[in-house]
Amino acid sequence: MEYSGHRERLKNRFRKEGLDNFEPHNILELLLFYSIPQKDTNPIAHRLIDSFGSLSAVFDATYEELMSVEGIGANTATLIKLIPEVASAYIADKTSVGTVLNNSEKLGQYLIPKYIGARKEIIYMICMDSRCRFINMKKIGEGSFQSAPIDPRDVVKFALYCSASTAVLAHNHPDGFAIPSNDDLTATKQLYDILKPLGIKLVDHIIVADDDFVSLADSGFFNNL
């Protein structure tokens, strides 16, 4: 069939050039080859872009939203949702134990990929040694600080398990504004107070919004604690 030749040409183009010169629908078309083996995926790729408005919005769509697009079945929706998760895991894995995260820029660039595709607030805690070298990271809450308060026992257990000397709190604002709320500030002080008696210093709270972030340490918030 004609589309089988087109598939091979698109695959060869990717092998030679990467994705730099691909249109968004071509990227999706190529991806869909691996979940839709016997059909022209070009119209489906166009429908996805038309439905959600951009390539990133397709990957950010929920499983149910993807399934509502004509031509998208369970396997394809799962594959699409897998991509941002794999991208996040790949980038996070490149920050191995011992990587120095000793300023807000390094922390922000490490954390932004963790929130790719996140549509709700996710709270992380990073444990580090006295030189701010990465030890481990754990999700300690989901939802806003108001709706998903941090469990102090979970925080203490993780910090002691890591033998941490310093720590960083992080969460995202899915609405796209990295401005700290009163709940964010209150939660930061609570975590600071929980860790201090253990000899562990909370050195920053990074708030991520899309590809931007705010550091409470840079704002001077920790000077008053």
Q: What is the pTM (predicted TM-score) of this model?
A: 0.70
Identify the residue whose tokens are 């409470």. 216
Residue 173 burial (10 A CB sphere; 0-12, 13-18, 19+): buried
Helix, strand, coil percentages in the chain from 3-state DSSP, rounded to 5:
50, 15, 35
Among residues 91, 124, 159, the one where a domain terminates is 91
Q: 68 and 39: one domain?
A: yes
Q: At 174, which CATH number?
A: 3.40.140.10
Average pLDDT, whole number, for the chain? 89
pLDDT above 90 covers what percent of the chain? 63
* Residue 4 confidence class, pLDDT cut points 50, 70, 90: low
Q: Give the tens place of pLDDT for each residue, 154-168.
A: 889 999 999 999 999
| Span 40-45, average pLDDT | 93
* Residue 25 confidence class, pLDDT cut points 50, 70, 90: very high
- Residue 174 predicted with pLDDT over 90: no
Q: Give the tens place of pLDDT for each residue, 188-205.
A: 999 999 999 999 999 999
Cα distance between residue 184 and residue 171, in whole Å: 9
Q: 46 and 157: one domain?
A: no
Q: At 6, which CATH number?
A: 1.10.150.20
Instruction: Report the candidate in 210, 137, 134, 204 with the shortest Cα–Cα distance to residue 172.
Output: 210
| Span 51-78, average pLDDT | 94
Confidence at residue 145, expressed as pLDDT on a 0 to 100 scale: 63
Confidence at residue 51, expressed as pLDDT on a 0 to 100 scale: 96
Confidence at residue 5, expressed as pLDDT on a 0 to 100 scale: 81
Q: 72 and 111: one domain?
A: no
- Polymer length in residues for the chain: 225
**Residue ranges making up the domain that contains 122:** 98-224
Q: Give the tens place of pLDDT for each residue, 101-157.
A: 999 999 998 899 888 878 888 999 999 999 999 999 998 888 766 666 678 888 899
Confidence at residue 144, expressed as pLDDT on a 0 to 100 scale: 67
Confidence at residue 85, expressed as pLDDT on a 0 to 100 scale: 86
Confidence at residue 189, expressed as pLDDT on a 0 to 100 scale: 94
The number of distinct structural domains making up the chain is 2
Q: 144 and 33: one domain?
A: no
| Span 176-193, average pLDDT | 89
Q: 23 and 49: one domain?
A: yes
